[in-house]
Amino acid sequence: MKGKNLEQYSNVTGFEKIAFGELIDRWGEVYGNRIAIKDNSREITYYELMKNSRKLVKKLRESGVKENSIVVMQCTNKIYFVEILFALFRMGTVPVMVLPAYREQEIVKIIKKTQADAYIAPIEYAGYKYENMRQEIKRKFPDMVTLMIDEHFTNQEEMIGDECVTTRVKYDDVAILLLSGGTTGEPKLIPRTHADYIYNAKMAAIRSCLGEESVYLASLSIAHNMPLACPGILGTLYAGGTAVLSYYSSPDEIMELIEGERVTITGLVPTLAQLCMELLEIEDFDISSLKVIITGGARLEPKLAEDIMRNFQCILQNQFGTAEGLVMSTSLGDPDEWIIKTQGKPISKADKIKIIDENGQEVAKGKSGELIVRGVYTIESYYNEPKADIKFTEDGYYKTGDRALITEEGNICVLGRIQEQINRAGEKIQPSEIEEGLLELEEIQQVVVVAIADHLLGQKSCAFVQFKEGKKLDKNEICNKLQQKGIVHYKIPDQIEFIEEWPKTKIGKIDINRLREKVTIK
């Protein structure tokens, strides 16, 4: 699958026309017996990762996964998923990275949109067994190859035989499809090419000063862009360090891993950073190895930034990342004031940033407007989404939808979303996604979902619900019904308020501000 034209970036320092297969082989040769990745049951060297991902190509082919096709991959933080990911990269087969928390409704939408012909998921994760969902998917898409896996899938004894001869995958082919936070209901698919994603991981690794001695903890699901490539496991492997995978992303597991694995750097969303900090206050952990904490995915409040620096006694990197590409962050030597108040500078000097007003004109320095960007690793269109053209300017800039300004020192300060979106501990939810689910319940007449501030999650969802004449449900019944529909847990409203009459604006539209006041005054 052909990705965006990268030829124009041939001369950018650090950019290489290389695909993952070749890079993984290079890592295997250069870093050999060093430990590449550790999970909660095993560890693997760079050489083994190279070999296993080659052998897996054969196994995946025999299991029915085709070269140059699309696979929906619901992965957990296990080494075998990284091995499979690398085997797919070698095959030119494009994985769509999906969180383990997703349920049938979301998976079916993604399969339809991508026309994927395979689905790979764990057998079980966090008490949930994926078999029922697999059967449902198979019923809806009978030709689909469905693989439920655990460590046996990459078992070495079963993989004796010829090593693969891979198809010729090019540097500008699409390597991976990431899911966007989205601004219009369903998530959009972000096609990242081999060379742009490698460049992304490499530049983020340089910004975080990763090296062979680095131990990076992937605290969040590796289906997210940050723990995958900002710098994530890919940036860590680029630098020859060791990536440790946290399986449950829980504060106690994260703190134990930092202590036990002598972790030097990790990436957290602000909410998780706060929870880890609270745990640190009540329990003793030796976190003396930790040099850097990156926070990203959502706005880091200045007070929390200061608390993190004080309590963890390490350098904080304030990062702004998008799965669409652009990553910015403060640098390790930046003054505290920059770290607390800004998201620093783009990781690549080739990133062209502009702040524009609603007419598309650049605003004066220091004034706020929409942040737009063009560069090596930022997409110029979504996959199979012609209607999303409004997210790009005519000259190929990606419109982030974030309000930002550039400071005197050239740092970027992100102020918030231009349009309504709920950023629930880094998980992006469009109010319309929750509204759609609620409106499918036959008892409900009308619904409006808004974001409200929450001291722990940053934001949470609040649904205002109006019932049809003579119908009624209580809050638990609503949540249970949504759960039964197979909606991912974080899209179930955190708060539900019943409404008999909607407050209206002068022109007769539902007055969202007055609705929000109702819950914030309480």
Residues that bind ligand AMP (CB under 6 A): 180-181, 225, 296-300, 319-323, 343, 400, 402, 414, 417, 428
User: What residues are paired with 370 via a beta bridge?
Assistant: 356, 403
Nearer residue to ligand AMP within complex by CB, 54 or 299: 299
- Please write down the long-range contacts of 428-433, taking CB distance under 8 Å and 24 or more positions apart: 428/180, 428/181, 428/182, 429/461, 429/490, 429/491, 430/182, 430/183, 430/184, 430/185, 431/461, 432/184, 432/185, 433/182, 433/185, 433/186, 433/491
Could you say which DSSP state residue 145 is in? Answer: E
Quick one: which of 389, 393, 425, 391 has its CA closest to 297? 425
Could you say which DSSP state residue 362 is in? Answer: B
Q: Using an 8 Å Cβ cutoff, are 175 and 99 in contact? A: no
Nearer residue to ligand AMP within complex by CB, 225 or 378: 225
Q: At what angle do helices 194-207 and 20-31 cross, to 10 degrees?
A: 40
d(CA 257, CA 446): 46
Minimum separation from the CB atom of position 106 to ligand AMP (A): 15
Nearer residue to ligand AMP within complex by CB, 31 or 320: 320
Minimum separation from the CB atom of position 323 to ligand AMP (A): 4
Read off the amino acid at residue 322.
T
Minimum separation from the CB atom of position 414 to ligand AMP (A): 4
Minimum separation from the CB atom of position 1 to ligand AMP (A): 21
Nearer residue to ligand AMP within complex by CB, 49 or 179: 179
Nearer residue to ligand AMP within complex by CB, 114 or 400: 400
Minimum separation from the CB atom of position 520 to ligand AMP (A): 21
Minimum separation from the CB atom of position 82 to ligand AMP (A): 20
Minimum separation from the CB atom of position 80 to ligand AMP (A): 25
Look up residue 484 and give its two tokens: 């039964």
Quick one: which of 163, 170, 223, 173 has its CA closest to 193? 173
Nearer residue to ligand AMP within complex by CB, 92 or 296: 296
Q: Using an 8 Å Cβ cutoff, are 332 and 416 in contact? A: no
Minimum separation from the CB atom of position 8 to ligand AMP (A): 24
Nearer residue to ligand AMP within complex by CB, 64 or 302: 302
d(CA 451, CA 424): 9
Minimum separation from the CB atom of position 447 to ligand AMP (A): 24
Nearer residue to ligand AMP within complex by CB, 91 or 300: 300
Q: Using an 8 Å Cβ cutoff, are 388 and 381 in contact? A: yes
Nearer residue to ligand AMP within complex by CB, 93 or 348: 348
d(CA 162, CA 280): 50
